[in-house]
């Protein structure tokens, strides 16, 4: 039986924060990903910029135009080849095109029936062997609900120990590269 890997998309594969920062800067609010120090934008940005973010995310084409993190396509290809992979990604209710764009964005790499839209706070109800995530709280909650699994937390500025959502778990591995993530997945779940 193949190992089931559950993979977040934004902040793991898709440079969502980079896209937001790029468009905030264009709109007169210069930002970089280092300015985003917590997963919840309300902890990093003033209310006016938070509203701009919602407006940016609602623009048709925003989701589809997000850049891939360096090495993300190769990481994804390895997981598709070696595991039973499912992408768990949150829909954005403020956009009528988000879900279609996300499936198209992943389309050349992941079968459409393996892309599931679920809010992060509910990921724990999906069973698997591994969760690859950028939200430490969601990862910890998933680990509590999946006692045989591991979580791989991709290191980002918004999920450091100083982030509002910081949480750690004995079966959570924080990694700084896709190579390290793949090694842990291969070694830990056999």
Question: What CATH number is associated with residue 152?
Answer: 3.40.50.1000
Residues 77 and 153 in one domain: yes
Q: Which residues contact 160 (CB under 8 A, 6 or more apart)?
A: 37, 166
Q: Are residues 136 and 153 in the same domain?
A: yes
105 and 21, same structural domain? Answer: no
Number of domains into which the chain is organized? 2
Q: Reply yes or no on whether the pLDDT at 11 is more than 70.
A: yes
Supply the range of the domain harboring residue 174: 4-15+66-188
Per-residue model confidence as pLDDT tens digits over 88-114: 999 999 999 999 999 999 999 999 999
Domain match, 48 and 97 both: no
Do 42 and 77 have their domain in common?
Answer: no
Query: Residue 1: is its pLDDT beyond 70?
Result: no
120 within 8 A of 135, measured Cβ to Cβ: yes
Q: Considering the chain, what percentage of its residues have pLDDT values greater than 90? A: 96
188: pLDDT confidence band, cut at 50, 70 and 90? confident
Report the alpha-carbon distance of residue 90 to residue 153 in Å, rounded.
17
pLDDT in tens, 105-139: 999 999 999 999 999 999 999 999 999 999 999 99
Same domain, 11 and 22: no
Same structural domain, 47 and 138: no
> Same structural domain for residues 95 and 133?
yes
Residues 89 and 20 in one domain: no
Residues 77 and 167 occupy one common structural domain: yes
pLDDT value, residue 69: 98
Q: Are residues 47 and 24 in the same domain?
A: yes
Q: What is the pTM of this model?
A: 0.95
Q: Are residues 170 and 101 in the same domain?
A: yes
Contacts 24+ apart (CB under 8 A), 106-113: 106/9, 106/13, 109/73, 109/76, 109/77, 109/80, 110/76, 110/80, 110/85
């Amino acid at each position: 039986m193949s190992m089931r890997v559950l993979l977040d998309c934004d902040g793991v594969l898709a440079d969502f924060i980079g896209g937001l920062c790029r468009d905030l800067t264009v709109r007169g609010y210069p930002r970089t990903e280092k300015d985003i120090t917590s997963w919840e934008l309300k902890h990093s940005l003033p209310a006016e910029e938070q509203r701009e973010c919602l407006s940016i995310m609602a623009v048709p084409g925003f989701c589809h135009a997000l850049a891939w993190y360096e090495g993300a396509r190769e990481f994804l290809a390895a997981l598709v080849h070696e595991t039973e992979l499912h992408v768990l990604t949150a829909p954005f209710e403020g956009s009528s095109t988000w879900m279609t764009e996300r499936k198209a964005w992943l389309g050349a790499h992941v079968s459409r029936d393996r892309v599931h839209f679920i809010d992060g706070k509910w990921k724990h109800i999906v069973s698997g062997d591994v969760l690859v995530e950028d939200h430490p709280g969601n990862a910890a909650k998933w680990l509590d609900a999946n006692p045989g699994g591991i979580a791989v937390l991709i290191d980002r500025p918004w999920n450091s120990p100083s982030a509002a959502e910081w949480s750690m778990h004995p079966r959570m591995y924080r990694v700084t590269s896709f190579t390290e993530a793949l090694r842990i997945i291969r070694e830990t779940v056999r």
